[in-house]
Amino acid sequence: MLQNNILSVAKETISNEARAIEELINLLDHQFAQAVEDIYNSKGRVIITGIGKSAIIATKIVATLNSTGTPAIFMHAADAIHGDLGTILKDDIVICISKSGNTPEIKVLVPFIKNFKNTLIAITGNKDSFLGKQSDYVLNAYVEKEACPNNLAPTTSTTAQLVIGDALAVSLLHLKGFSSKDFAKYHPGGSLGKKLYLRVSDITKENQKPKVTPETSITEVIVEISEKMLGVTAVVENEEIVGIITDGDLRRMITTNNNFTHLQAKDIMGKNPKVIKNNAMAVDAMEIMEEHGISQLLAQENGKYVGVVHLHNLIKEGII
């Protein structure tokens, strides 16, 4: 029964918040659109401020804006009235987040922002509040009630604020024509960024370059594969790929030949191996490997063999 009660409360919480977010669609109006246009056309940054839980939401919206090409800075409302107002520059646009719009710190802060003549955008659940009446634009984040059974703990209201911030960021992203390449510039670290910018060439230049000719003896082939430690070697003529030999090819050779010392690379190599261009994205190499159930790809540049990309490289880089 205890677990059932827990699940019931959790589901009701999510349901309450989902309904509130759905209602935000009906609260969007021309003020939202104009606020987005002003931010898009601004020569300055977006300064986002708030206090309490709203301040925490503000930091997340700042992070989202920065990662999608809109420069933003967080300024805590309490710190602002104790020296941090210098954060605001002439062309900056200020977004102030407050559920009630009437908290003491907000009432002190807003007149100073107005004196600076910066555009002030409110994200508030009370458009008739002090903040709402003083702002140039009001983005209505009204919720009927919190998910908290006492209607006290900021839950649904902070979720609504966060969603309004996401709507702002994504609207600006569309206006800017922000592409996956732009996204990669702001996310160079981690697997997400690497999927967007890491190329096969970044991997092949770090790997050894196993290669033999069609006439290379099997003994030398085994040595080449063992020394280069990629489980594969390219078979090349005039630096052009004519075949491939893998660990699996060697195992199959041993099981079918009692004496293989007389064999050459061309006798066991696989013809028409899967290859990829050296300037291709590493994520494309991953897709080819997955599609064909292979662990290595030979890379070429201008028709010439340049190296190997291995499944383990992609795992190490976080692509997989």
List, for residues 204-258, the tens digit of each pLDDT value. 999 999 999 999 999 999 999 999 999 999 999 999 999 999 999 999 998 888 7
Q: Tokens 């013809």: give the residue.
A: 271
Judged against a pLDDT cut of 90, whether residue 55 lies above it is answered with: yes
CA gap 113, 228 in Å, rounded: 64
pLDDT at 102: 96
Q: Between the CA of residue 101 and those of 40, 50, 277, what are the distances in Å?
A: 25, 10, 57
**Pairing of the two strands 120-124 and 240-246:** unpaired
Judged against a pLDDT cut of 80, whether residue 193 lies above it is answered with: no
Query: Is residue 292 a known part of a binding site?
Result: no
Average pLDDT of every residue of the chain: 92
pLDDT at 156: 96
pLDDT at 320: 72
Domain boundaries, the chain: 2-178, 197-316
Enter the tokens of residue 131. 């903040």
pLDDT at 168: 97
Judged against a pLDDT cut of 90, whether residue 316 lies above it is answered with: no
CATH of 2-178 among 3.30.420.40, 3.40.50.10490, 3.40.47.10, 3.20.10.10: 3.40.50.10490
Class of domain 197-316: alpha beta
Q: Poorest-confidence range of 146-155, 185-194, 281-290?
A: 185-194
Judged against a pLDDT cut of 80, whether residue 139 lies above it is answered with: yes
Beta bridge pairs of residue 297: 309
Kindly report the pTM of this predicted structure. 0.69
For 18-51, how does the pLDDT look when each residue is reduced to its tens digit (9 = 90+)?
A: 999 999 999 999 999 999 999 999 999 999 999 9
Judged against a pLDDT cut of 70, whether residue 188 lies above it is answered with: no
pLDDT at 192: 63
pLDDT at 114: 93
| Same CATH fold assignment for domains 2-178 and 197-316 | no
Q: Which of 75, 140, 62 is nearest to 105 (CA)?
A: 75
